[in-house]
Structure 1
Amino acid sequence: MRGVVCGCPMIDGMPAASSPVNRRSEYARMTREAILDTARSLFTAQGYYATKVEQIAEAARVAPATVYAVGGGKSGLLRTLIETSVNSADNARLLADIEAATDPGHLIRLVVSATRTRFGEWSTLMRQVVAAAPQEPAVREAMEIAHEGLRGGLRVTADRLSALGALRDGLDAAEAADILWLYLCNAAYFVRGDDLGWPLDRSEAWLNVVLPRELLGGEPAR
């Protein structure tokens, strides 16, 4: 007799043993996650160039060959980290929320909040990417993946505002996407945080005033 209890297959009332294939797959997934988490921590703590593959392997408790197999070296791990973030389930849900939005003001606040959150999570690592990119083409490619992921989301936002008929007179979707990039890219957040000393709360509040004025015209709803 077969059944399912809490998602666990049952045979004759007893949980079925995991197959060797399933166990290998789970071990491979856990190993990959451990390597990526370790790489991100070390890149952030001591810098991309100062981090060695052997250090990642030791901290993740795997052989260096396993690190190369998972990511193809440091640049591969960095690219995988960024691609994983860009293609995450959270980003997919955000894009769905953008495309479903019906209130322009809410849509702008949604995107501002999302970029503020992502910047808070990734800014330390992105500093390392920006520092290493001029000297290493593979790191530049990883940075471009991150930038294109954000630009793609901002284009979707601009297109949605246009579809709602919300953009101010004389502004088209392409120009709106450029304005969103100007205010919401990592470089803009770094300027506000590093050069002006603004905490993220102040930056978010300011963006929620400026962007509706820039994109929609008039004053934002209070």
Structure 2
Amino acid sequence: MSTRTSPRRADYAALTRQAIIDAARTLFAERGFFRTKIDEIAELANVAPGTVYAVGGGKQGLLGIMVDEWASAPLLKESLERLPALRDCHEILALVASASRQVREDHGAVMRILLNAAPHDDTAAQGLRESTERYRGTLAAVAERMHELGGLPDGVDIRRATDILWFYFGYSGYFTLTDDNGWSLPEAEQWLLARCEQALLLRPAS
């Protein structure tokens, strides 16, 4: 007897998994990670509670899946691959600003969930540590490329440049401007880019 999964069954399983992830993301964002119940995720995804555990591994497992999707976003890899070909630091910072805005559009809800849950949940805290390490690693690669091009001012080494990039394009910059102040993401992108150029470049844009 064949044990192969039929294409139709595989498609259904994939759709079910995505429905559960989408339901969890929606409820985590609306009600908070800790207030959301498995039964509520199951109801919104139109599946049995046992399916949520089987497919997603419970709330911690679902949060981990969301973090992995954020960390493995193709945009981050594509941005890093473009770095060696860029020879103008203004273009590099524009790339960082654009990519970080796109990540907020695609994964901002997961970032907020993780930041809110991390102080109270070990799984979320570990996910945040790993995500932050990867994120800062990307910014460190940007700082190193800018250093290679001689675009950093005196007294700003790669580590300090990474810190400055994190200040503008880390978690808080976009969220403060959009969530607290009501700015649009494009407005926040342009403002953060302009301020970062002034702070970081040897020859800021005029």
| TM-score, scaled to structure 1 | 0.80
Q: 2:47 aligns with which of 42, 53, 62?
A: 62
Higher helix residue share: 2
Whether the 8 Å contact between 1:75 and 1:139 is mirrored in structure 2 is: yes
Runs of 4+ with deviation above 6 angstroms? none
Give me the whole-angstrom Cα distance separating, in 2, the residues matched to 1:127 and 1:167.
32
Higher strand residue share: 1
Whether the 8 Å contact between 2:83 and 2:142 is mirrored in structure 1 is: yes
For 2:117, the aligned partner's letter is: A
Give me the whole-angstrom Cα distance separating, in 2, the residues matched to 1:73 and 1:33.
14
Q: 1:148 aligns with which of 126, 133, 154?
A: 133
- 2:114 aligned residue: 129
Give me the whole-angstrom Cα distance separating, in 2, the residues matched to 1:169 and 1:55.
55
Encode CA deviations 1:29-79: one digit per residue, 9 max, x unaligned. Answer: 222222111111111122212211122122222222222122211011011
Q: How does 1:86-105 map to 2 (within 5 A)?
A: 86-105=71-90
Q: How does 1:1-222 map to 2 (within 5 A)?
A: 20-220=5-205, 222=206
> Runs of 5+ in structure 2 lacking a partner?
none
Higher RCO (C-alpha 8 Å, min separation 6) = 2
> Runs of 5+ in structure 1 lacking a partner?
1-18
State the Cα distance separating 1:20 from its structure 2 match: 4.0
Whether the 8 Å contact between 1:82 and 1:145 is mirrored in structure 2 is: no
Task: Sort the Cα spacing of 1:93 and 1:60 in 2 relative to 1 into closer, same or farther, 3 A.
Answer: same
State which drifts further: 26-35 or 195-204: 195-204
- SS state of the match for residue 146, structure 1? helix
Encode CA deviations 1:127-184: one digit per residue, 9 max, x unaligned. Answer: 3332222111112122223322321221121122122232222322222111101111
Whether the 8 Å contact between 2:76 and 2:99 is mirrored in structure 1 is: no
Overall identity of the aligned pairs, in %: 38
Higher gyration radius (CA): 1
Encode CA deviations 1:66-120: one digit per residue, 9 max, x unaligned. Answer: 2212221101101110111210222222221234322211110110111122224
| TM-score, scaled to structure 2 | 0.85
- SS state of the match for residue 33, structure 1? helix
- SS state of the match for residue 34, structure 2? coil
For 1:32, the aligned partner's letter is: R
Give me the whole-angstrom Cα distance separating, in 2, the residues matched to 1:37 and 1:95.
28
How well do the aligned residues superpose, as a CA RMSD in angstroms?
Answer: 2.2
